[in-house]
Chain A
Amino acid sequence: MSHISILMENQPGALSRVVGLFSQRGYNIDSLSVAPTNDSSLSRLTMVVKEEESVISQILKQLNKVIDVVEVQNLSEIESVSLEIAIVKLKITEKEAKKIIESAFPVVGEIINHKDEFVMIKLIGSNHEVDDFLLSLNKQKFLEVTRSGLLGMGTGENFLISESETTIEY
């Protein structure tokens, strides 16, 4: 299992090139999150990939070859932090919800909506923690879940930023 961060041009078809690479070469994606960055010409992806190490190194090479991909970083090889956000909908009372949140540690939870007999809870934690927590929920009352996929970033000097443009003459 590896966490990979990708910085990619915000161009037509760029995301499908990255995702397509995985289906084309038979690699398995466990989760994927994508959003623009502070530079609107770039998008940032975090992927969780379930493959052996030799396959991961192939994946990194193939990702680097995708022309819209500006930078790739294997977060699993550097010191990094990562977390995941989930929203769950449960058929419980607010009181029960509060109890669940108290017991959720180390996952951090918060009630974000309460309508009719349904409560929505926002959860933040590492993806294992979120996994474990969701498993612990009472099946009958647990109605719906959506997860952000893992978000990650290298610590300290481990930046994922685009290198300066190279000028190519031919």
Chain B
Amino acid sequence: MKKESGGSALIRALADENVELLFGYPGGAALHIYDAIYQQDKVQHILVRHEQAAVHAADGYARATGKVGTVLVTSGPGATNAITGIATAYMDSIPLVVISGQVASHLIGTDAFQETDMMGISRPIVKHSFLIQSPEEIPEVVKKAFIIAKTGKPGPVVIDVPKDMTDPNHLFDYQYPKDIKMRSYSVPSEVEESNIDEAVSLLEKAKKPVLYAGGGIIQGNASEELKKLAKIMNAPVTNTLMGLGAFPATHENFIGMLGMHGTYEANMAMHEADLIFALGSRFDDRTTNNPQKYSLNAKKIHLDCDYGSIEKIINVDVSLNGDAKKILKQILNKINTKNIDKASIDIWNKEILNWRETHGLNHDLLDKKFHQKQILPQQVIQSLYKSTNGKAFITSDVGQHQMFAAQYYKFDEPRKWINSGGLGTMGFGLPSAMGVKFAFPDEDVVCVTGEGSIQMCIQELSTCMQYGLPVKIINLNNRALGMVKQWQDMQYGGRYSSILYEDSLPDFVKLAESYGHVGMKVEDISELEERMDECISMKDKLVFMDVYVDPDEHVYPMLEAGGNMSEMRVSKTKKTF
């Protein structure tokens, strides 16, 4: 048995967990660990340019692959820089293991150089955290961390490692545990048959059902089962922002995303439904509007791996706490096609189609196209969809561009749409695209961003150069913090407080070129499609495509604050209430 130090044991444990990529940034408290990385070749370390980007990259990798993303940062500023990334992963339940260096044990609590209380700072935004107390416990803690990160409701786990725990002179026998014992952690057990029966009976009785699927279906790898259920019932399906791709967007039963900027027909369907089956979605306030006025006529079934999410916001008739795939299989086994009210559901589907025809996504885009010279942001996404055959991984930042991407790129597969839904973190797009590209070097990976967001992690263009990551960056440049501007237009009488850059934007083409990449600028609608094709076809180059879009465009539909799910603005001049 080869002896290891705490530092080498830590890296060896990651290798035993089949970790291939460790995103990180070195510093004093982590130097023993970095020395251990140097002396092995199983785990590859990726040097980013900012710790926030390390976490986002690991996060993108985790979202795209379903594996646990892994991060290493130093103590103090390294740890605090990682916080935004950890919070982002926490809000979207993404499995990560984040290892932070810490000052030596005897210095903890003395305000030592680069000491921060990482256990304390990260507590509200982690699923769990560990402080290493002896080098010998490192293999077991790593094992626990991975299990906790990926089972049940996934989430980030922090391992805080005081420098003396990685002392290269302290050696011990290394053994990686096969399993671990934890009396205080368990994953949800089987759902009782009677609950399944109740759910099935509601599904069979429904005349106006909606299947409302969220990120839990993606994380739970349950898309196939969802498709089967939709098919058997011929029921309409809506996805949340986090759930896009859980159900194919080009499927005839798909009625679009719901919520704040969901489609008219999806929000109307939620309002008028007589049964809502929530699958791996948590009735987030962006998808319910006012909970007191939420879908009052609908019975509700809630399937979630987290019982804390059930009846947190909305009371339900049947709760199904557990693994989505398993539970859906149980339902599929029990549901009797003959009992389903097909005739009523047919009428329901027609009603939804009617809504789509009156206020569906493209309804006024076409008239606009006719009159305009400027490029509409929606058209850029449509063009991107065409050039990539709808098959690319799309990461996004946060703002109007994110919503346009969610609305207009029709995701047919899970794990292809990668965005910060819960925390809404500007700066997420580029680093997460790096993580995806590492995992899928032969696929198109595109970051849809805005000139505001991209500047929050733009330094990662350098990381992309170092590791040869030919991601594509589509910058919907509206010369403003567009989403904030939209709110200022709608609610603050057009008083544009601090959303403009006053001619200080960089020349993104030159900027990209200075990092050794390709830059492109597109201002004319007539060249959009051609340039987009050109951009996507440069398989081994990072291309930064700076597209000047109409700065006055708003994202619609938009739910009216405080209202119910049918109260929407559908354009600058039209509303439904």
Contacts of A3-28 to chain B: CB distance below 8 A: 8-9, 12-13, 16-17, 20, 24
Does B308 lie within 8 Å of A168, measured CB to CB? no
Give the size category of B's interface with A: 20 to 34
Does B183 lie within 8 Å of A162, measured CB to CB? yes
Which residues of chain B come closer than 8 Å to A169, judged between CB atoms? 178-179
Q: Please pick, from A24, A164, A170, the residue contacting B183 in the complex, using a CB distance under 8 A.
A: A164
Contacts of A44-64 to chain B: CB distance below 8 A: 54, 57-58, 61-62, 64
Which residues of chain B come closer than 8 Å to A16, judged between CB atoms? 120, 123
With an 8 A cutoff between CB atoms, is A67 at the interface? Answer: yes
With an 8 A cutoff between CB atoms, is B415 at the interface? Answer: no
Contacts of B266-324 to chain A: CB distance below 8 A: 306-308, 311-312
Please give the distance in Å from A26's CB to the nearest CB on chain B: 12
From known contacts A167-B179, A167-B181, infer whether A24 and B124 are also in contact, taking CB-CB under 8 Å: yes
From known contacts A165-B182, A166-B181, A168-B185, infer whether A67 and B128 are also in contact, taking CB-CB under 8 Å: yes
* Docked pose: A57 CA to B147 CA in angstroms: 27
From known contacts A13-B123, A16-B120, A24-B124, infer whether A166 and B183 are also in contact, taking CB-CB under 8 Å: yes
Contacts of A80-122 to chain B: CB distance below 8 A: none
* Docked pose: A167 CA to B308 CA in angstroms: 23
Does A166 lie within 8 Å of B124, measured CB to CB? no
Please give the distance in Å from B141's CB to the nearest CB on chain A: 11
Does B312 lie within 8 Å of A58, measured CB to CB? yes
Does A165 lie within 8 Å of B181, measured CB to CB? yes
Contacts of B139-188 to chain A: CB distance below 8 A: 146-148, 150-151, 178-187
* Docked pose: A88 CA to B544 CA in angstroms: 72
Does B119 lie within 8 Å of A61, measured CB to CB? no
Which residues of chain B come closer than 8 Å to A167, judged between CB atoms? 179-181
From known contacts A17-B123, A58-B308, infer whether A166 and B186 are also in contact, taking CB-CB under 8 Å: yes
1/0 per position for B101-142, CB-CB distance to A under 8 A?
000000000000000000110011001110101000000000
In the complex formed, the residue of A with least CB distance to B315 is A54
With an 8 A cutoff between CB atoms, is A70 at the interface? Answer: yes
Does A168 lie within 8 Å of B120, measured CB to CB? no
Does A62 lie within 8 Å of B308, measured CB to CB? yes
Which residues of chain A come closer than 8 Å to B146, judged between CB atoms? 170
* Docked pose: A67 CA to B306 CA in angstroms: 13
Which residues of chain B come closer than 8 Å to A17, judged between CB atoms? 123
Please give the distance in Å from B119's CB to the nearest CB on chain A: 5
- Residue of B127, B182, B187 with most partner-chain A CB within 10 A: B182
Which residues of chain B come closer than 8 Å to A61, judged between CB atoms? 307-308
With an 8 A cutoff between CB atoms, is A163 at the interface? Answer: yes
Which residues of chain A come closer than 8 Å to B127, judged between CB atoms? 67
Which residues of chain A come closer than 8 Å to B131, judged between CB atoms? 12-13
Task: Please count the residue pairs between chain A and chain B whose beta carbons lie under 8 angstroms apart in the complex.
Answer: 70
From known contacts A24-B124, A57-B311, A61-B307, infer whether A168 and B182 are also in contact, taking CB-CB under 8 Å: yes
Q: Please pick, from B124, B128, B133, B179, the residue contacting A168 in the complex, using a CB distance under 8 A.
A: B179
Contacts of B303-356 to chain A: CB distance below 8 A: 306-308, 311-312
Q: Please pick, from A57, A70, A165, A168, the residue contacting B151 in the complex, using a CB distance under 8 A.
A: A168
Does B120 lie within 8 Å of A13, measured CB to CB? yes
Does A67 lie within 8 Å of B184, measured CB to CB? yes
Contacts of B167-215 to chain A: CB distance below 8 A: 178-187
Does A170 lie within 8 Å of B133, measured CB to CB? no
In the complex formed, the residue of A with least CB distance to B321 is A61
Which residues of chain B come closer than 8 Å to A65, judged between CB atoms? 306, 308
**Number of interface residues, chain A, beta carbon within 8 A:** 28
From known contacts A13-B119, A13-B129, A170-B147, infer whether A69 and B184 are also in contact, taking CB-CB under 8 Å: yes
Does B184 lie within 8 Å of A170, measured CB to CB? no
Which residues of chain B come closer than 8 Å to A8, judged between CB atoms? 184
* Docked pose: A141 CA to B451 CA in angstroms: 69
Does A168 lie within 8 Å of B147, measured CB to CB? yes
In the complex formed, the residue of B with least CB distance to A9 is B184
Which residues of chain A come closer than 8 Å to B179, judged between CB atoms? 167-170
In the complex formed, the residue of B with least CB distance to A7 is B184
Which residues of chain A come closer than 8 Å to B180, judged between CB atoms? 167-168
* Docked pose: A67 CA to B178 CA in angstroms: 20
Please give the distance in Å from A126's CB to the nearest CB on chain B: 31
Which residues of chain B come closer than 8 Å to A168, judged between CB atoms? 147, 151, 179-182, 185-187
Please give the distance in Å from B261's CB to the nearest CB on chain A: 27
Please give the distance in Å from A98's CB to the nearest CB on chain B: 47
In the complex formed, the residue of B with least CB distance to A61 is B308
Please give the distance in Å from B220's CB to the nearest CB on chain A: 15
Please give the distance in Å from B151's CB to the nearest CB on chain A: 7
* Docked pose: A67 CA to B182 CA in angstroms: 9
Please give the distance in Å from A38's CB to the nearest CB on chain B: 16
In the complex formed, the residue of B with least CB distance to A170 is B147
* Docked pose: A72 CA to B308 CA in angstroms: 14
Please give the distance in Å from B557's CB to the nearest CB on chain A: 31
Please give the distance in Å from B400's CB to the nearest CB on chain A: 31
Which residues of chain B come closer than 8 Å to A165, judged between CB atoms? 181-183
Does B184 lie within 8 Å of A12, measured CB to CB? no
* Docked pose: A70 CA to B183 CA in angstroms: 6
Does A70 lie within 8 Å of B308, measured CB to CB? no
Which residues of chain B come closer than 8 Å to A67, judged between CB atoms? 127-128, 148, 182, 184-185
In the complex formed, the residue of A with least CB distance to B306 is A65
In the complex formed, the residue of B with least CB distance to A67 is B128
In the complex formed, the residue of A with least CB distance to B150 is A170
Contacts of A117-170 to chain B: CB distance below 8 A: 162-170
25 contacts between A and B (CB under 8 A): A12-B131, A12-B133, A13-B119, A13-B131, A17-B123, A20-B124, A57-B311, A58-B312, A61-B308, A67-B127, A67-B128, A67-B148, A68-B184, A69-B184, A70-B184, A162-B183, A165-B181, A165-B182, A165-B183, A166-B182, A167-B181, A168-B179, A168-B181, A168-B185, A168-B187
By a beta-carbon cutoff of 8 Å, the part of chain A in contact with chain B is: 8-9, 12-13, 16-17, 20, 24, 54, 57-58, 61-62, 64-65, 67-70, 162-170
Q: Which 5 A-B pairs have the closest CB atoms?
A: A169-B179, A165-B181, A165-B183, A67-B128, A61-B308
Q: A13-B129, A166-B186 are in contact. List 13 more A-B contacts (CB 8 A).
A: A12-B119, A12-B133, A13-B119, A58-B312, A61-B308, A62-B308, A67-B148, A163-B183, A165-B182, A166-B185, A168-B147, A168-B187, A170-B147
